[in-house]
Structure formats: C-alpha cells, structure tokens
Amino acid sequence: MNRKLRVALAGLSLGMGLGSTTLAQTKWDLPTAYPPANYHTENIVQFAKDVEAATGGKLKIAVHANASLFKAPEIKRAVQSSQAQAGEILLANFANENPIYALDGVPFLATTYGEAKKLYEVSKPATDKLLAAQGIKVLFMVPWAPQGIYVKKEIASVADLRGIKWRAYSPATAKIAELIGAQPVQIQQAELAQAMATGVIESYMSSGSTGYDTKTYEHIKNFYDTQAWIPKNAVLVNIKAFEALDPATKAAVTKAAADAEARGWKVAQEKNDEYKRLLTERGMKIHKPSAKLDADMRQVGGIMQADWLKVAGADGQAIVDAYKKN
C-alpha cells in the first residue's frame, strides 16, 4: 500500500469514527411558554437531566423556556411539523382543533386534584389518540393549580365584572368573559406582566403560580379563590423523532416521562398553598368567593359544560359519563 493511500484510508476511518459518534448523539429542542422558575419548567428541566443521565448523554434535550423559541400557540404546530422535536403546550389552548383538548378547561367539572386526576385518566385514551393522529406522542401531563379570579377592585358577584378588561389565555377563558359581560383580550403568560403594566387588562382567571410568576400583585390586589377548574400542560414529542431512537433510549425517555408526571402532580399540589402564601406576603388579598359569586360562576360553568357536551358529541359524553361514574 503506498503512503498516499494509507493516509487516505486513515482519514476515511477517522471520518467514519467521528461520523458514528455524531450519529449516536441526538439533540432535541423542547420549547415551553413559561418561565424557568415555574414548577412546570423546573420539572421539564429535571426530565431532560434524567434522560441525559440514563442514556449516558446519548439524548440531550435543550429546554427553551419563556416562549423564547416559539410562542405558546405555536408550539404544538412546531412539534407536529418537526421544527422542534418536543415541546410543552397548555392543552386547553387547542380547543378549536378538538373539544377533547378543552375538557380540563371546562369550569366546575373537576376542581380538586383528585378529580383532575380522574378526569385525566378517563380522557387520556381519547386525547392520546387524537394527538397520535397529528403525529404527536404525549410524554406526560402536569396540572396547574385550581383557577381563581384576579381583579383590581373587590367583587361580590359577576355583575361587578361587567365591562371590565379581562385577559383570556384560551377559548374557554374568552367564553367566560363573554358570558359575564367582560371584555376579553387574548394574552399569553409571557406577555401578561406587560399587559398589566400598560393597563391593557384589569382582571383575569388563572392560578396562584401565574399570579406569582407575573408579579400580578404589583398591579392587581385581589384574588378570588373560586377553584373553578384545573388545566394541564402536556409535554409532547414528534412521533417520528421518538421512533428514530434506539430501544434503550426510548425506554429511558418513557421512564423519565413517567417519573416527571408523578413528580409534577405532587409538586403542583404542594406548591398551590405555597403560591397563595407568597402572594399574600406581597400584598395580595386572597378571598373566599361570596356565595353569590360562587353561584354565579357555577352558573357560567353549567352553561359551558352543556356547550362542551354539544360539540363533543357521543365520544365526549362517554368520557364525562366515565368520569361521573362512582
């Protein structure tokens, strides 16, 4: 073998060596719309660490928090179209694609964590199937806290909310505004602090965590703890990206996802009271809703449940029946 050929062959094998190392390492992007210190984001970062450790660095997941890579409403489409291999969405944001996605955003259907878990379990097969048909696999879902009303002035009934500028984050929260005569403006959490600072909104429904994350207490001083519903975030992966993994890596992802789901539900519940305490310390008044406000909101919930059943049809009815059984 002449020298030239030897050098060429050495170069080739070196190139192949490098090539196979590169192939063996996979990198995923995982955009989320919520800030780094939020427990959803912390849970996802832990999930990414667990995956990296369990695969010996074969699969690295880069978490992009705070809507820095894609805005909240764009993340699902990004995962579907492989612009991002994975991503976190607020499921109820996609009500317009299918009513099943909106189920956990229907007021007063599931208001405790126990009920939310049950609703999740009975709706999971249908949700997973719909997302699979869109090229998406669900890795795990984690709840927000029960939703209450942030409002500048004190209120005794929904009549006090008439005409108020109301931030909506989903079709359902916009529908509530319509039913109570408030003026809805669609704003995602990443833009919420600015919307309050500029006076675009004076009221909204959400969790203690979002009130805290967005420093709502600097602009709004009342939180009515209506405990109206418990929406969930879903962490998704593009099916093709998942299927391209070797069996051991797939198993590592599945295991880390199951751990993240269990951890997320636990932390969500633990943090619920903690966030209310933090809000109180920063000057927020946490109110138990008056009987009238509670009854008014439940009436809104009743209308929305009936509307949901109308659009969700027999499949939706079967899920609600299973939920209400025993």
Q: Which two tokens stand for residue 159?
A: 């009549």
**Whose Cβ is closer to ligand PCA: residue 55's or residue 233's?**
233
Q: Taking CB under 6 A as the criterion, which residues in 50-109 touch ligand PCA? A: 90
| Candidate segments 5-13, 120-128, 204-212, 295-303, binder of ligand PCA by CB under 6 A | 204-212
**In the complex, minimum distance from the CB of residue 187 to ligand PCA, in angstroms, rounded to a whole number:** 8
Least distance in angstroms from the C-beta of 258 to ligand PCA: 23
**Contact window for ligand PCA (CB under 6 A) among 56-64, 206-214, 234-242, 262-270:** 206-214
Size of the site for ligand PCA (CB under 6 A): 8
Instruction: Report if residue 207 touches ligand PCA, rule: CB under 6 A.
Output: yes
Whole-number Å distance between alpha carbons of 237 and 139: 7
- Sequence-distant (6+) residues with CB within 8 A of 103 are 109, 119, 123, 308, 312, 316, 319
Site for ligand PCA in 144-183 (CB under 6 A): 144, 169
Nearer to ligand PCA, 48 or 72 (CB): 72
CA distance linking residue 75 with residue 95, whole number of Å: 15
Cα 32-37-39 angle, rounded to 5 deg: 75
226-255 residues in contact with ligand PCA (CB under 6 A) are 231
> Hey, which residues does 151 pair with through a beta bridge?
203, 222
When asked if residue 275 is in the footprint of ligand PCA (CB under 6 A), the reply is no
Q: Which residues bind ligand PCA (CB under 6 A)?
A: 90, 144, 169, 189, 206-207, 210, 231
